Chain A
């Protein structure tokens, strides 16, 4: 069965530090997609990125970057120069046939 593991339950950093959130997945599919979502304190889930398994190039969007490594089944998310507004719970997710499997989430706290 597909599985998504986010081993870091909570991370606390000081503003301007870089932080990496880990995501390790298990799948028997040869082609698949991976997602990251952000859930700020207000509660809504915000889509951040979708990557397919064909593309192992790192993705960068402003202060956010994603490192996808098929060899280690990881899809890690790095925030550079973190800001207080980055404080949220971040979820990694993987489609499994008829559903989307979410990891348990990593709660990131960025202190001023």
Chain B
């Protein structure tokens, strides 16, 4: 158990809908990262927050947004969902903001868009 929690574990929704994925980092970690894992794209970094502020942005679509709250939990919002958004979404956390720190991953949320 990495100490990172993600909810929900599974999510099935229809095209055009909006969903919110939630992540709580390990105790003491200030950085939260979001990743998308799909068969065709592999593991792709989406976005990083550090202590409430956006720190780095990767291949995140404009339809997606995230935020980190004062209690350090984070939410990833996915809107106008398309079939291609079906994937496993991971949250990870680390103690610092540099990518040189090891990241601890949550169990993931499997999103299925029908």
Count residues of A near B (Cβ-Cβ below 8 Å).
23
- Distance to closest chain A CB from B64 (angstroms): 15
Chain A residues whose CB sits within 8 angstroms of the CB of B92 once the complex forms: 45
Q: What size tier do the contact residues of chain B reach? A: 20 to 34
In the assembled complex, the Cα of A100 lies from the Cα of B107 at a distance in Å of: 18
Tell me which residues from 19 to 59 in chain A have a Cβ below 8 Å from any Cβ of chain B: 32-33, 35, 37, 42-47, 50, 52
* A69-106 interface bits toward B, Cβ cutoff 8 Å, 1 = contact, 0 = none: 00000000000000000000001000111111110110
Which residues from B are CB-within-8-Å of A102? 42-43
Contact A45 B56 (CB under 8 A): no
Q: How far is the CB of A3 from chain B (nearest CB, A)?
A: 13
Question: Is there contact, CB below 8 Å, between A50 and B102?
Answer: yes
In the complex, how many angstroms separate the beta carbon of A82 from the nearest chain B beta carbon? 23
- Determine whether the beta carbon of B104 is less than 8 Å from that of A47: yes
Residues of B at under 8 Å CB distance from A?
Answer: 2, 33, 42-43, 45, 48, 55-58, 88, 90, 92, 98-100, 102-108, 110
What 9 A-B pairs have minimum CB-CB distances, sorted nearest first?
A98-B56, A95-B99, A45-B105, A99-B45, A102-B43, A33-B100, A99-B58, A44-B107, A50-B102
